[in-house]
Amino acid sequence: MNLQPLYDVKERLEYAAVAGTGLVGEDFRLRRALEALTPLAGASPVLAKIAAGLEKLLAAPAEGRSSALLDLLALVDAVAYTQAKTGAEGELEPLPQGGGTCRQIPWSQLQPLLNALTTTGGGRLELIESVWESHPEFFSDFRVLPAVVSGLGDSYGEIAERNAKILRSLGPAALPLLKRDFDPAGKRDMVRRVEVIAALEGAGATPWLREVLSQAKKDVRAAVISALGGDGANTALLLELAGSERGKNREAALGALARQEGESVRAFWTGELAKNSTSADFLESSETLWASDLAAAGLGQRLAKLEEALDAGQEKVSREDQEDLERWLRAARGKSSPAMLELWRWADGRLERFGRLKNHISQPYPLAGQLSECLLRGICETGAAPLAALAEELHGRDPKRAVYLPHAFAAASLTRPASEVYGQFSPYLLTKKPLLDSGAKRSCHEAMLAILLRLRQGLAGPLDRRWALRLLEAAWRDLPGKQTWYPSFPGGAPLGSFEATLTGLMDPADPEHCRALSAYFRRRMVEAADWYTYGRLVLRCGGSPRGALEEALGRSVKTYYLYHIWDFCAEAARTLPPEETAAILGLFARSKCVRREDVPQAQRALPWTAERLRAGEPFPEWNDWWKMR
């Protein structure tokens, strides 16, 4: 049976409800719907009932129409529901499969995570990181994974980057989703997709990358070209792209080609660098042999030119040449092909001559220092064995020279046991001022101080524990210049290079270190009248500042915020017995070290805390002191 007349009646009744039943009497469309329904009424009792109800509605007085309309609509709806169709015609296509997992994640954990990934507002990054820390497995759930993928386009860049990192950590599970609905003409989110896919698949991403390259536009195109560099089989294509693309896309192609191997690549780069010296920037991250050879050739060529200029009596280097030279030095950093090693050997014999060079404003141009720094950073950053051997070789040519001493020390720290390195290099760090050959020995001593300062954070392997103790006895302490380093606690005075090195080399777990350094810092506390900075360092050594503290407090005229006193005492409470901390609090209470505005608060807080500590209670929070203001 064709039920269209019934649906027409339903529609007209609904219109009547929206327009108002007052107009029902004049609704000719409703009357027409009734006329169309009447023939069906004979075939079905329920339709007859609807037709009768409709007639009644049309004939009803205004005040009774609303009830009649609702009753009739209830009946019409009931019929419509029972006549609802089900099913669908056609061939059933199987569903694609996602790459995630199914996990039992309760609403209380899943909903906030999905909210953080899909909405906007503050606090989302913290939540994502907290869940990533406690439940990384949640991110591979099939409900979360799409949100992480779409989160690559989050308006808050840090969240988008975090999502990219998460996807890289999850492995190939996200690949189907990353490739699904990929828009080659998209924005930053699509660029991140390309980067993640390339990171996950490596060379395996090539077929997909080649497929999307033809439609890729703007930033996505540059990202796709860059990603093609991950597969050595793309060399021919990249060479072609380097010829056909322009702007950012060509730069991406050059960046990708810098990672390729082969004769064709070497030939391309030889030509490219000859035409365009600025392309040497791309060699910086390249780890290939040809890049090292070309960097050596390029740098060598420029150094030879400078030598020729010096021979001709021209000592001035133009600004453009300086920039060009620095670019090639960056390109050469960390490279270790035989040609590069040969270049360093060649340059070693000319360092003194290069010292005569002047920059474009006729001031000394420190090319020798730049060359030395380039080699040192290369050794520390890459730890390349040929460079380490070269450093030892150059230093071995004349062990009394200071120039390659840091390089040799860094190289030895990377390759030999710490105690052996100490044995070889500790004599350079003098504990007594020499009578003979003082200038050269002091240069070596300062070179050791400089490299120890640089390596104090373990940049090139662990250092022997004896360095800190030897440093305490150093004949010359601070390095020339006025560089300072701030300690790791708030409010501390800046430290010179010697003390910065000392604090970096200090091992709080070594009793001998602690004893020796504690005595040094106690002495410095009184000398510098700086109880706060050196007192904190004494505490870090596990010692008590008492004794020196009274004297330093008496000498110091500086006043501190009460918060700094609390912070100092809180650290004391962590390392010292309660009685000792209470005694320190007493010293502060008697001193004039608190700034005037905080004195009343200090007068309440300090004795109260000392009393608590003596009663065996924990050291209070700053909040407790703050409440006493």
Partner 1 sequence: MELTEQFILLQAPNPAAAENGRKLSKKGAFSGRCRTEDGTLYWADCAGSGKTPYRVSADWSGDGAPVCRCSCPSRQFPCKHALGLLFEILAGRPFQTADMPQDLAEKRARQAARAAKREAAPPKERKPNAAAQRKKLTKQLEGLDLAEKLAEDLLSSGLGTLAGSSAQTYEKLAKDLGSCYLTGPQTALTRIALTVRTVQSAPDQAEAAYEEALRILIALRATIKKSRVLLTEKLESGNFSAGDSALYEALGGVWRLEELKAIGSYRENARLVQLSFDVAVDQAKREYVERGWWLDLDGGEIFQTRNLRPLKALKYVRGEDSRFDLVETPTLYLYPGEGDRRVRWETCSSRPVTPEEHSALPRLAQPGLAPAVKRAKGQIKNTLADKFLSALVPIGRVGRIGGEFVLEDPAGDRIVLRDRAEEGANRAACSRLALLPGEIPLGSALFGLMFYDGRDRSLCLHPYSVVTPAEIIRLHY
Residues at the contact surface with partner 1, assessed by CB under 8 A: 7, 14, 17-23, 62-63, 65-67, 69-71, 73-74, 77-78, 80-102, 104-112, 130, 134, 142-143, 145-146, 177, 617-618, 620-621, 623-624
The C-alpha angle with vertex 155 and arms to 150 and 158, in degrees rounded to 5, equals 90
Scan for tokens 């609802």, then name that residue: 84
Cβ nearer to partner 1, comparing 86 with 457: 86
Cβ nearer to partner 1, comparing 112 with 369: 112
Cβ nearer to partner 1, comparing 91 with 311: 91
Number of neighbours of residue 141 by Cβ within 10 angstroms: 22
Number of neighbours of residue 282 by Cβ within 10 angstroms: 21
Three-state helix/strand/coil letters over 407-439: HHHHHHHHHCCHHHHHHHHHHHCCCCCCCCCHH
Cβ nearer to partner 1, comparing 76 with 572: 76
Cβ nearer to partner 1, comparing 238 with 582: 582
Which helix H or strand E contains 210, and what residues bound it?
helix 206-213
Q: Least CB distance from residue 109 to partner 1, whole Å? A: 7
Q: Determine contact, residues 171/200, Cβ cutoff 8 Å.
A: yes
Q: Determine contact, residues 391/410, Cβ cutoff 8 Å.
A: yes
Question: What are the residues whose beta carbons fall under 8 Å from the beta carbon of 226, sequence distance 6 or more?
Answer: 198, 252, 255, 256
In whole angstroms, give the CA distance from residue 589 to residue 213: 73
Q: Least CB distance from residue 106 to partner 1, whole Å? A: 4
Q: Least CB distance from residue 139 to partner 1, whole Å? A: 14
Q: Least CB distance from residue 628 to partner 1, whole Å? A: 11
In whole angstroms, give the CA distance from residue 559 to residue 573: 22
Q: Least CB distance from residue 65 to partner 1, whole Å? A: 7
In whole angstroms, give the CA distance from residue 325 to residue 269: 18
Cβ nearer to partner 1, comparing 247 with 618: 618
Q: Least CB distance from residue 554 to partner 1, whole Å? A: 33
Cβ nearer to partner 1, comparing 8 with 507: 8
Cβ nearer to partner 1, comparing 90 with 349: 90
Q: Least CB distance from residue 149 to partner 1, whole Å? A: 10
DSSP 234: G
Structure tokens that stand for 297 in this block: 């050739």
Q: Determine contact, residues 192/162, Cβ cutoff 8 Å.
A: no
Rounded to whole angstroms, the maximal C-alpha distance in the chain is 129
Scan for tokens 């005492």, then name that residue: 569
Phi, psi values for residue 316, rounded to 5°:
-85, 135
DSSP 229: T
Structure tokens that stand for 497 in this block: 């290079």
Q: Positive or negative CA dihedral for 582, 584, 586, 589?
A: negative
Q: Least CB distance from residue 44 to partner 1, whole Å? A: 15
In whole angstroms, give the CA distance from residue 177 to residue 193: 10
Q: Least CB distance from residue 602 to partner 1, whole Å? A: 18
Question: In 3-state terms, what secondary structure has residue 87?
Answer: coil
Q: Least CB distance from residue 2 to partner 1, whole Å? A: 13
Cβ nearer to partner 1, comparing 106 with 247: 106
Q: Least CB distance from residue 528 to partner 1, whole Å? A: 35
Cβ nearer to partner 1, comparing 43 with 84: 84
Cβ nearer to partner 1, comparing 6 with 429: 6
